[in-house]
Each structure stands twice: as structure tokens, then as C-alpha cells.
Structure 1
Amino acid sequence: MKAIKVSVAQLTPKLGDKQHNLQLISDAMIEAKGDRADLIVFPELFLTGYSVGDDLDRMAETEEGQGMTEIKKLCVEHGLYAVISFPEKGESGQFYISSALIDNNGDVLGIYRKTHLFDKEKVHFTPGSEFKVIETPIGKMGLMICFDVEFPEIARSLKLQGADFIVIVNANMYPYELHHHLFSRVRAMENEIPVIICNRLGVEGDLEFCGDSMVIDATGNILLEMKQAVGVRTVDMPIEQQLDPKMSYTANRRAELYSKLAKH
């Protein structure tokens, strides 16, 4: 059974303090390296904190920005792949909620821009327009961000594009903890694909973030469940495993019947 070792960093960033958050990232990578992880995943907008909308002119970066450059160096130093989320300044000055996949050579292999914006995110951010599957030596990785998990079409699209597993970076808050707990397991089960979902903790204004980061295998079995624990946890996640041949959801699809889904 082919597997990779995944570290999940369920932590609390400090809003607007990149240096503090970079230190958290560095410390987490040291711990993940000690656990011999291949990949470490951080929550949504971890570089800056979540409620950064009013300060995007100052806080947003490109992939060549100061904060992202420091994270690339950390990936090289610790020999890790990392999925890190940040407010991205786009080519025409618009802003995106983005997650970058950085390899152990410090190269950005791809950036996913959140396609389904939640609530007040729509005031400050532009939605992305592309689903991303990124091929790496540790597997083909599909990327999603938070609210995306509530739309089954995205995970199915990533599966059909050949993803070996899905990484979801989260800033999910109460009272929506049950939504993501259930949806992430269902996305894994209905697509027969492993799912990593990394959420944060802490409070920003009237938002209280609910944790419950998990690593889930292709049958929906929870391999790692952090609930409200603070810290970095590591687990072996199979990306090739025995599946029930009677299910084979992808093979049993009736795509010719689904065209109306894209028209409404």
C-alpha cells in the first residue's frame, strides 16, 4: 500500500502579524520534520489571519512576496512539501484567497484561488475560476479552500482530473463545525479519495474558529482527528488502498444524464 506521511498544523495565527505567523510556520515545520513528514498543511489565510479584508493593500502578496519567500526557504531547510494559504494580489490588482503548494526545493508548484467565497469574503476578494490538480513526486494533489468542501462538484472534478488526494485549507467557524466534519468525510467516500482538511483555532472579532482538522482515507475512515487540540499532528495516509469493487463510483457515473447540472 502506497502512503505518504502528512502533518496537520491546527494552530491560531495572529491577525495582521506575519512575523508571528511565520514563526509558527517555522516551529510547525521543525516538528513535522521530526516526525519525518512528507507534507505539512496549514489553515486558510494562515500567513495573515482570516479577517484581513480591510487591510489587503498592505497585507496581500504575490508568490514572490516577502512572507512567501520566507516560507519557500523553510521548505528547503526542512525538506518538506507545504500547502500554505495567503491573501494573493492578482495580476490586475484584485485579491484572492489562495493556497500555494511549495515543494522541498522551495518551488511553487501551483496556486489555487478559492472558487466559492463565503459571506463577507465577497466584499474583498475575487473568486478563482479554475480547479487545480498538481502533479508531484508524492502524488497528484487536488486543492480546495474551506467553503469549497460544501460543493460536491469540486471534489468530483478533482477526482476526474486524476487527483490522488485532496487538501482542504480551512478557516471554518462555529456554528458550522458539523457541516465540514460531515462534508469532508462524504467527499472522501463519494469520490473514493483521501482528504486532508486543516482548520484553525482562535477568535477574531465575533468569529470563533472550530478546529476539527482531520485526515480521512478513501473509504471515509478517519485516520487523524484533532478536534480542538492545538498543535501539529502527523499520520500515515494511504494514497493507494483496496476499495470495494462493487462501489466504483467514478466508473458507475452516468455522465450523459448530468448535463442539466451545469445549466441551472
Structure 2
Amino acid sequence: MKAIKVSIAQLSPKLGDKQHNLQLISDAMIKAEKDQADLIVFPELFLTGYSVGESLGQLAETEDGPGMTEVRKLCLEHGIYAAISFPEQGEGKHYYISSALIDNNGDVLGVYRKSHLFDEEKKYFTPGAEFKVIETPLGKIGMMICFDVEFPEIARSLKLQGADMIVIVNANMHPYELQHHIFSRARAMENEIPIIICNRLGIEGDLDFCGDSMVIDATGEILLQMKQAEGLKTVDMPIDQQLDPKMSYTANRRADLYSKLVERF
């Protein structure tokens, strides 16, 4: 059974302080390299902290910006793939909550822009318009960000596009910890696909981030659960495990009956 080693960095970034957060990223990659991890995943908007709406003009950057360039150098230095989230400067005055997948040579393989914006994110960010599956030697990686996990259509679409696993970068806060715990396991089970969900800790203003990062296999079994522990943990995650042939949810779909799902109400 093929498996990859996955590291989850459940940490507390400092709002607006890229240098501090880059040091956290560097320290986490050092530990992940010692654990012989293939892939390390960081939380949503980890490069800058979450509540950056009023400061996007100063903090947002492209995938080739100074902060992201430093992350890319770290991936090359430590020989590791990374999913890192940042506020992306887009075309014109558009900003996106984005997650970049960087390979062990420091190359950006793809950038996913969060498609389902939560609450006040809509005041500052533009929603993305494309679901992303990125082909890598580790497998085909589908990308999601936080609130996306609450919409089953996204994970199903990634599965139908051939994803072997789904990586979710999170900045989920109390009182919504139960939703993401249940939804991430459900997305794994209903699509028979492993899920990596990395949330953060810490407080920003009124927001108290709730952790509970997990690695979940294609049957919904939790392989790694960090609960409220701060730090980095690594686990082997199978990506071609034996599944119950009686389930085969994708094969048993009745797409001819689902037209209501794409109607506007």
C-alpha cells in the first residue's frame, strides 16, 4: 500500500509579522525534515495571520513576492513539499485568500484561491473561480481552504477530477470546531479520499482559533489528531488503501438526478 509522510504544523502566527511567521515556517520544516516528511501543511493565511483585511495593501503579495520566495527557498533547502497560505495580490485591486503548493525544488506547482468566503472575508477578498487538482509525484492533490469544507460539492468535484488526496488549510475558530471536525471526516468518507486539514491556534481580536488539525484516511479513520496541542506532528497517510467495493460512492452516483444542485434559487 502506497503511503506518504505528512506533517501538520498547528501553530499560532503573529498578525502582520511575516518575519516572525517565516521563522515559524523554517523551524517547522527543520522538524518535518527530521521526521522524513514528504509534505508539510500550514494553516490558512499563515504567512501574515488571518485578520489582514485592512492591511492588504501592505501585506498581500504574489507567489513570487518576498515572503513566498523565502518559503520556496526553505522547501528547496529541506527537500519538502509544502502547502502554504497567503493573501494574494491579484489583478487590479483584487485580493485572494490563496494556498500555494510548492515542491521540494522550490517551484510553485499551483495556487488555489478560496472559492467560498466566510463572513467578513467578503469585504476584503474576491472569491476564486476554479477548483484545483495539482499533479505531483506524491499523487494528485486537491486544494481547499477552511469554509470550503462545509460545501460537499467541492470535495466531490476534486474527487471527480482525479484527486488522490485533499489538503485543507484552515483558520477555523470557536464556536465552529464541531462543524469542521464532522465535515472533514464526512468529506473523506463520502468521497473515499484521504483528507489533511491543518488549523491554527491563538487569538486575534475576538477570534479564538480552535485547532483540531487532523489527517484522515479514505474510510474516515483519524490517523492523526492534534486537538489543542501546539507544534508539528507527522504521520504516514495511505493514498491507495483497499476500500469496500460495495460502497464505491463515485461509481454509484446518479448524476442524471442531480440537476437541482446547479440551479440558482
TM bin, normalised by shorter chain, reads over 0.9
Q: 2-side partners of 1:144 and 1:221: how far apart?
A: 20
**Percent of aligned pairs with the same amino acid:** 81
Q: Which residue of structure 2 lines up, in the alignment, with residue 52 of structure 1? A: 52
1:128 aligns with 2:128: yes
Q: Which residue of structure 2 lines up, in the alignment, with residue 188 of structure 1? A: 188
Q: 2-side partners of 1:221 and 1:194: how far apart?
A: 9
1:152 aligns with 2:152: yes
Amino acid at match of 1:207: L
May I ask how many residue pairs the two structures share in their alignment?
A: 264
Q: Which residue of structure 2 lines up, in the alignment, with residue 258 of structure 1? A: 258
Q: 2-side partners of 1:111 and 1:57: how far apart?
A: 20
1:28 aligns with 2:31: no
- Match of 2:75, SS state, is helix
Q: Which residue of structure 2 lines up, in the alignment, with residue 227 of structure 1? A: 227
Q: 2-side partners of 1:78 and 1:90: how far apart?
A: 29
Q: 1-side partners of 2:58 and 2:166: how far apart?
A: 31
Q: 2-side partners of 1:11 and 1:186: how far apart?
A: 25
Amino acid at match of 2:153: E
Amino acid at match of 2:6: V
Q: 1-side partners of 2:257 and 2:182: how far apart?
A: 27
Gaps of 5+ in 1: none
Q: 2-side partners of 1:131 and 1:231: how far apart?
A: 30
- Match of 2:220, SS state, is coil
Q: How does 1:88-103 map to 2 (within 5 A)?
A: 88-103=88-103
Deviation at 1:92, TM superposition (A): 2.0
Q: 2-side partners of 1:95 and 1:131: how far apart?
A: 17
1:106 aligns with 2:106: yes
TM-score by length of 1: 1.00
1:201 aligns with 2:201: yes
Deviation at 1:220, TM superposition (A): 0.1
1:216 aligns with 2:216: yes
Q: Which residue of structure 2 lines up, in the alignment, with residue 247 of structure 1? A: 247
Q: 1-side partners of 2:144 and 2:2: how far apart?
A: 23
1:80 aligns with 2:80: yes
